[in-house]
Amino acid sequence: MSMNTPSKLEKVFKSGHIAVTSECGPPRGSDPEAVTSKGAMIKDHVDAVNITDNQTAMTRMSSLAACIHLKQMGLEPILQMVTRDRNRVALQSDILGAASFDINNVLCLSGDHQSFGDCAQGQNVHDLDSMQLVQTVRHMRDEGKFLGGDDIKRPPNMFVGAAANPFADPFEIRVPRLAKKIACGAEFIQTQCIYNIAKFEEWMRRVRERGLHEKVFIMAGMTPMKSAPMAKFMKNRVPGMDVPDEIIDRLAGVEKKKQAQEGIDICVEHIQRLKEVEGIAGFHVMAIEWEEKVPEIVERSGLYPRPEV
Amino acid sequence: MIVADKKPIEEIIETVKPYDRILVLGCNECVTVCEAGGKKEVEVLASALRMHFIQQGSKKNFDERTLERQCDHEYLEEIRDIMDNYDAVLSLACGVGVQFMAEKYHTTPLIPGVNTCFLGATEKRGLWTERCQACGSCVLAHTAGICPISRCAKRVMNGPCGGSTGGKCEINKDVDCAWQLIIDRLRDLDRMDEYEIVTPIKDWSTERAGGPRTVAREDVQV
Ligand code: SF4
Ligand code: SF4
């Protein structure tokens, strides 16, 4: 097994296991407990955990700081970085900062537009885009150089990921776009939350047609629905989200206090179905502000215990 | 062209308050086309101001004039002989014209009468949209003639982002996704294979980031 980095996530993939990751959103405050308590809930059920970077453009504790908290309690963090708020100086600098704490995974994103968040009147940066950020991390790691050309002493050694949204438009370029991210150096992919299984399977079929599943580890994004209203909100209000009516109907079909459980059941069923799809290398279980449910989902999906690597 | 929009009259009233003799100065170029600062708008604004201050019982004089261009020394000279008659000039030119006036008439207070918005075009009467952010290094040859810098909310160079839905941008259902437009046109040009070419990291030093810019052309200098 040839490893590019010391990343535990890379090792799980390359040992042939189905990987499991989850997500922690840092708090809107400076209490480290808010991060570590979430970490403790999922610690034994995931191989690595994403730390979001001011998601939905809401100002929060920095992703890097939260990664350090989790690293110090023995978790394997995936540093999310968006290109919205930092230029190439700041991005490279934070990559080095993360590497100094041996944070071995990064996920490169463009980030939601600031108009969704609490600083709609602020500037955005977008000096690089998400693909160029992938290239940047790979350049720093593989060439041991800054974008400016100078040598880096102790280059960052990070396993590099990117996101893919099989459901955004136009559909015809969704697979070419994945190919582009791979060409830029992405080694793992986490997808947008999947609810439209048929459309996702069609995307995977096209991915396999081009052999892309052999070039990158694809993790299917799963988010359990808490209620029928949440499903409706996701369908109508979250850009790039595809929630079929049958999901909403199924949730609405059970009484209110049982909808959350129904949401978990749907999630588990989806994971079990997608486990059979060739080219799926793992699951990214994003239980937003519902981290305590991750263990149940992972266990019931037959993904527990996590392998020792 | 440069697209500008009218400033709220309340804001203009506040800024002209300290002056008694004011020249309302229009420009016959871009701001005329976008109906924010041409001869017609000068007329309308000057009479609105006159009316307001008469009602307030204050005596102010608003004269009207519209120049061919305010971003040109030659035309700005045309008003040199009358400038002594005014305490201030309310210029309805774009930010360039206002500043050029200020440089030429160093001791006359200048008040902008419009908000200068962007480089764009008239979509239809009463609707102007952005097309260019003057990045100083045009990439339209590689993006099917559609500018991802001015028309994509995140100026993504390798788009679209994951928020593109039904041809619209994630920020607003009324805004076209630039990358949807790029892909549609690549397809129509039968150049979809170019989509997979990765656009490298951009040199933004020719853009605003590099500081105030100059174009110096020795070949045409006299
Ligand atoms: S690429 Fe630059 S110069 Fe060309 S239209 Fe866009 S902003 Fe203007
Ligand atoms: S939806 Fe389209 S235009 Fe809007 S930010 Fe994303 S790529 Fe740019």
Alpha carbon distance, N-terminus to C-terminus of chain A: 12
User: Does B157 score more than 90 pLDDT?
Assistant: yes
Is the distance from the beta carbon of residue B160 to the nearest atom of ligand 2 less than 6 Å? yes
For residue A50, tell me if it sits in a domain: yes
**CB–CB contact A124 B161 (8 Å):** no
For residue A154, tell me if it sits in a domain: yes
Is the distance from the beta carbon of residue B203 to the nearest atom of ligand 1 less than 6 Å? no
Q: What is the pLDDT of residues A26-77, one digit of tens each?
A: 999 999 999 999 999 999 999 999 999 999 999 999 999 999 999 999 999 9
Nearest residue by C-alpha to atom 7 in ligand 2: B160
Distance of alpha carbon A194 from alpha carbon A190, whole angstroms:
11
Over residues B71-99, the mean pLDDT reads 97
| Pocket test residue of B149, B152, B155, B158 for ligand 2, highest count of atoms within 8 A of CB | B152
Distance of alpha carbon B174 from alpha carbon B153, whole angstroms:
13
Nearest to A280 by CA among A219, A222, A221: A219
For residue A85, tell me if it sits in a domain: yes
For residue A58, tell me if it sits in a domain: yes
For residue A185, tell me if it sits in a domain: yes
- What global pTM score does this model have? 0.96
For residue A3, tell me if it sits in a domain: no
Nearest to A178 by CA among A162, A159, A167: A162
Nearest to B145 by CA among B104, B199, B181, B119: B181
Q: What is the pLDDT of residue A202?
A: 96
A103 burial type by CB count under 10 A (0-12 exposed, 13-18 middle, 19+ buried): buried
What does DSSP assign to residue A4?
S
Alpha-carbon dihedral of residues B180, B186, B188, B193, nearest 10 degrees? -120
The answer to whether B188 touches B149, Cβ cutoff 8 Å, is no
- pLDDT class of B49 with cuts at 50, 70, 90: very high
What mean pLDDT value characterizes chain B?
Answer: 97
Query: Which residues are within 8 A (CB) of B77 and not within 5 positions of it... i.e. 6 or more apart?
Result: B104
User: Does B152 score more than 90 pLDDT?
Assistant: yes
**CB–CB contact B200 A113 (8 Å):** no
User: Does A1 score more than 90 pLDDT?
Assistant: no
Give the domain range for residue A67. Answer: 8-300
Q: Which of B143, B149, B156, B174 to mutate to test the interface with A (most CBs of A within 10 A)?
A: B156
Task: Please determine, for the modelled complex, whether the ipTM score is greater than 0.90.
Answer: yes
Over residues B47-54, the mean pLDDT reads 98
Q: How many CB atoms lie within 10 A of CB A282?
A: 24
* Domains of chain B as residue ranges with CATH: 2-118 (3.40.50.2300), 135-196 (no CATH)
- pLDDT class of A239 with cuts at 50, 70, 90: confident
Over residues B88-115, the mean pLDDT reads 97
For residue A307, tell me if it sits in a domain: no
For residue A166, whether the previous peptide bond is cis, meaning omega lies within 30 degrees of 0, is no
Q: What is the pLDDT of residue A37?
A: 97
Q: What is the pLDDT of residue A169?
A: 87
Q: Which residue has better confidence, A169 or A230?
A: A230
Q: What is the pLDDT of residue A238?
A: 87
Q: What is the pLDDT of residue B137?
A: 97
Q: What is the pLDDT of residue A240?
A: 84
The answer to whether B160 touches A168, Cβ cutoff 8 Å, is yes
Q: What is the pLDDT of residue A117?
A: 97
Q: Domain containing A82 — which CATH number?
A: 3.20.20.220
How many folded domains does chain A comprise?
1
